[in-house]
Amino acid sequence: MNIKRSWHKSLTKYWQLYLLLIPVIAYFILFKYKPMLGIQIAFRNYKLRRGMWGSEWVHLKHFERFFSSYNSWPVIWNTLYLGFLTLLFCFPFPIMLALVFNELKNERMRKTMQTITYAPHFISTIVVVGMLMAMCSPSTGIVNKLLIALGITKDGLYLMGSGRYFRLMYILSGIWKDAGWNAIIFISALAAIDQSLYEAARVDGATRWQQLLHVTLPGILPTVVIMLILESGKVLNIGFEKVYAMQTDLNLNVSEVISTYTYKIGLEKLQYDYATAIGLFNSVISFIMLLAVNTVSKKLTETSLW
């Protein structure tokens, strides 16, 4: 009874705030939870004329088909490999960038460098790929002209078409585009560190390097761990746009990932049920990885999402 009265009192007192929640709740219901009903397509022999509810139930048939397909394991391996490379190289770079900005004492230089590194984030992914293709062209690209001038190659490298360089170009372009933007959250964490800790460290004779190791890094460690947990859940969800835009027949053996494979199966071949099953498998594995990393983090660092 007391709980009911307390809730009613809160609703009466803060009714404007609850009113503001209505669009948010409606958004999640309509665009997040309602579409989850479509998951059952993965377990049906979906026919467009019969609809989702009228299609025949086939249980795990589409999952069995995927795992027995000769394309499945190469696609899964490419996704995992590219995802782990992204986590390994793209995740630490914003942290290092934030630490560099934090050490810059010249205010104008720091703001200029931050603006320069933030700017690529607002460039369209397709435009970024187009820029890469222009700069890395074997005949006219500035990158290959530089490599030839340095004597690294004689005829130029097919950086954007060859499977040998696909992962390298994907990682480098990802760092260039998003490192500055992703550094914002770590810059905010650095700003929240109590400055008296640095003063105490300097009084004790700590050098800049020792301050970094014993004050700065421990101060942002909870933020780093939380972001690492969130990023670990994206290892299989590396995105679609950039991979698909960079994909060619020559690099298909390393660039075909789950997201592009699902697109081709679902929208090009119109096999919606099979594509949904692959997408569901991707989501379940990502969720399991998120839970696993969160559990390990909670035991080792006592920092977790929940």
pLDDT at 4: 65
Residue among 236, 245, 225 at smallest CA distance from 286 = 236
Q: Which two tokens stand for residue 194?
A: 């109590």
Class for the domain spanning 55-301: mainly alpha
Q: CA triplet 283, 285, 287: central angle to 5 degrees?
A: 70
Confidence check: pLDDT of 3 > 70: no
Confidence check: pLDDT of 94 > 90: yes
pLDDT at 2: 61
* Residue 231 C-beta-side C-alpha neighbours within 13 Å: 18
pLDDT at 145: 85
Give tens-digit pLDDT for 140-158: 788 888 888 888 777 778 8
Give tens-digit pLDDT for 171-194: 999 999 999 999 999 999 998 888
CA 216 distance to own-chain centroid: 25
**Angle of helix 163-191 versus helix 125-135 axis, rounded to 10:** 130
pLDDT at 77: 93
Tell me the average pLDDT of the chain: 86
| Strand, coil or helix: 277 | helix
Per-residue pLDDT, averaged over 231-258, amounts to: 86
pLDDT at 171: 92
| b (16+ CB within 10 A) / e for 125-161 | beebbeebbebbbbeebebbeebeeeeeeeebbbbbb
Boundaries of every domain in the chain:
55-301
User: For a pLDDT cut of 90, what percent of the chain falls above it?
Assistant: 19
